[in-house]
Amino acid sequence: MLGAIKAAVGDAVLTFSWIFCASTLGAVTAVVSLAIGVKDLIWASLLITTVLVFILVFVFTIIGDLLGGASFNPTGTAAFYAAGLGSDTLFSMALRFPAQALGAVGGVLAIKEVMPEQYKHMLGGPSLKVDLHTGAIAEGVLTFLITFAVLVIVLKGPRNPLLKMWSIAIATVTMVVAGSSFTGPSMNPANRYVVKIAFSFDDICFE
């Protein structure tokens, strides 16, 4: 019981931090691209984003370990549970999922307060750019692929932790680019649905 509560608290803290930091990827990529003069080069922007994702994964892996195995992605939590990895139970996941959702809401509201006005248009998270059925299929396929890729990288990938994280970063950016014309994509319920709800709630309350 106590372990499940601690895991849920850790998830809430980590998800808050992840959503806050990940929401700045677009803005930071734009700033870095402009600073080094490669703003118009798509491949350079993708490389910068991949490096930033790698840094985030590296930092958040360490933080997650310090928090006792905390996670910011319900999909990952469910996937590792289904694979028989970790010590989660149905009860602990029933606590962790809402905690991740609450952390995501907090992260969204926080980043909206501090993001410079000229970059706020980059916030908002993934959005449906095709019809509902096509978007659902695309999101399902991409979520399956990224989950499968992460499991393969973690279980069968390179032994070097840095290479593992770099591989995860490449896989993540690849899936995001592949789904950019469909849904974004999110591949993370805490990112997709909760972020949208948080933005809608914030707009209703403060506009």
The structure's pTM equals 0.81
- Residue 60's pLDDT band (cuts 50, 70, 90): very high
154: Cβ–Cβ under 8 A, 6 or more apart, which residues? 164
Angstrom distances, CA of residue 108 to CA of 35, 142, 175, 197, 207: 27, 23, 22, 10, 16
Q: Where are the domains of the chain?
A: 2-206
Quick one: which H or E segment has residue 68?
none
The mean pLDDT value for 179-193 works out to 65
Position 20 pLDDT exceeds 80: yes
- What is the distance, to the nearest Å, from the Cα of residue 175 to the centroid of all Cα atoms in its chain? 12
Position 205 pLDDT exceeds 80: no
Distance, in Å, from the CA atom of 58 to the CA atom of 16, rounded to the nearest integer, reads 17
Q: Answer yes or no: are the C-beta atoms of 77 and 93 closer than 8 Å.
A: yes
**pLDDT tens-digit series, residues 112-149:** 888 888 887 777 666 667 788 887 888 888 888 988 99
Looking at 41-45, 62-66, 106-110, 130-134, which range is the least confident one?
130-134
Nearest alpha carbon to residue 44 among 28, 24, 25, 29: 29
> Which CATH number is correct for 2-206, 1.10.10.60, 3.40.50.300, 1.20.1080.10, 1.10.357.10?
1.20.1080.10
Position 181 pLDDT exceeds 60: yes
